[in-house]
Amino acid sequence: MDLSSLYFFAPTEMELLHTWSDKTNRWIIENFVLLGSLWSDLPNHLKKHLSRFTQILVDALKSLSLAQSPEAILGSLGKLLENLEAKSSLAPSIIVGFSIVNGNISSDGNIEFPVLQLLASKILAWSFTVDTSVLDGYFHRLLNLLSPKLTVFTFQLIPREVCKRIHLPKIKAALEENLRIMRNADLRNGFVRAVFVEWTRISHWFAATGLVESILDYFATGFEFLVRVSCGSSRSANLSFRFLSLPLYNALRMAHLELHESTHLPISQVYQGDLEEIMNVSQSIASAFGEPKLTPTIVRLSNDFLLHCAYLTNLSAHRLSELLHLSYPMQSEDSAKSWLRFWLVADISGAAFSDSIM
């Protein structure tokens, strides 16, 4: 008998590697939270296997520029996640999770925060629309790895359906409920804060509505949420809410009126004067309580609020164009407007912008 015939079923080396990789990835998926929690103790060959894909992800994220429109970045992220999933057999949430625990996605600003927010937005859309029975579980495993407290939040949101005038009281109640949980937590890692991307968009619209319609309570609630997501420090956010909400609201209301009424003055003079006043107020509070990193966060948010209000109240095209150039000198006007529409979601009446995404 020809014994060689007994080995007709023997796999090729390629088939063996494929089987090993497939079974390894299944095991990784099933034990994702445990592996992530024990990253420093994992054997080197397993770290190397996972790091191949996390490095591809991080390098791609670093290459994305905010000069691009959010639509363009989301398109690039979609292709990136599809390619990574095809090559690794791992869900995007799993790859992102390991990118965080191995330090590639950290809180030191190595990736633009809006890019992380768009990544989170893409993963949320991926998780809740592609195959809910599977991917939803992966996303919640990621939340469990990042912080068990996050699992109590609602992330399956469609901002263009939420940002309606009839929903204003509900938005306020929902944000206040979220804030009750967030006030006792420091959200140091950038991606942890990024998963609140849809709530962030809702808060931008809600705070801008409060400014335009002179409703301090709406502005203060949206402002506190945005500070917590922007800086991650519970103490900084608490100080901002207690001591900056009212003076900032008054300064922004005055700045908003000046942008429309002081047409005899150059837009740069009005804009720079308003931001300088806001910076002085925030620096005074930040210095008094030993929180120097608070000022840049407040100034950036104030700049956003001014632009959002100007856009929502139809500042003249010429003055808006100048304002956008002053605020975002590295972006084209079309790209800057696209970002405004992304963060605002809808106009002041609650009608979603025609190119509103997600």
pLDDT tens by residue, 308-358:
999 999 999 999 999 999 998 888 999 999 999 999 999 999 999 876 565
Which two structure tokens, joined as six digits, stand for 76?
């690039």
Find out whether 336 and 327 touch, Cβ atoms under 8 Å: yes
Residue 100's closest CA among 120, 118, 83?
Answer: 120
Res. 8 pLDDT band, cuts 50 70 90:
very low
- Is the sign of the CA dihedral 74, 76, 79, 84 positive or negative? negative
CB 154 within 8 A of CB 140: no
C-alpha dist (Å) from residue 222 to 9, 217, 248, 328: 64, 9, 13, 23
Question: Angle, to 10 degrees, between the axis of helix 333-344 and the axis of helix 317-327?
Answer: 90
- Specify whether the CB–CB gap between 78 and 122 falls below 8 A: yes
The residue written with tokens 């405004």 in the block is: 340
DSSP code string of 214-245: T-HHHHHHHHHHHHHHHH--HHHHHHHHHHTH
Kindly give the residue spans of alpha helices, DSSP state H, lying in the chain: 13-30, 32-37, 44-63, 70-88, 92-101, 113-129, 132-146, 159-162, 168-182, 190-194, 197-212, 216-231, 234-243, 245-261, 267-288, 294-312, 317-327, 333-344
Q: Write the DSSP assignment of 73-113 as a string of letters.
A: HHHHHHHHHHHHHHHH---HHHHHHHHHHTTSS-SSSSS-H
Contact 313, 348 (CB under 8 A): yes
151 exposed, middle or buried (CB, 10 Å; 0-12, 13-18, 19+)?
exposed
Tell me: pLDDT of 22 over 80: no
pLDDT in tens, 111-139: 899 999 999 999 887 766 555 444 446 88
Which tokens go with 16? Answer: 């063996």
Cα–Cα dist 83/79, whole Å:
6
What is the mean predicted confidence (pLDDT) over 18-27? 67
Nearest to 260 by CA among 332, 211, 333, 331: 211
Q: What is the pTM of this model?
A: 0.88
CA 93 from chain centre, in angstroms, equals 15
pLDDT at 15: 59
Q: In a 10 Å sphere around its CB, with 0-12 CB exposed, 13-18 middle and 19+ buried, how is residue 50 labelled?
A: buried
Residues found in the chain: 358
* Dihedral of the alpha carbons of 246, 204, 123, 331, in degrees to the nearest 10: -110
Domain ranges of the chain: 19-146, 159-344
Range of weakest confidence among 19-28, 36-45, 56-65, 349-358: 19-28
Task: Tell me which range, 198-207, 222-231, 288-297, is most confidently predicted by mean pLDDT.
Answer: 198-207
Distance, CA of 3 to CA of 114 (rounded, Å): 63
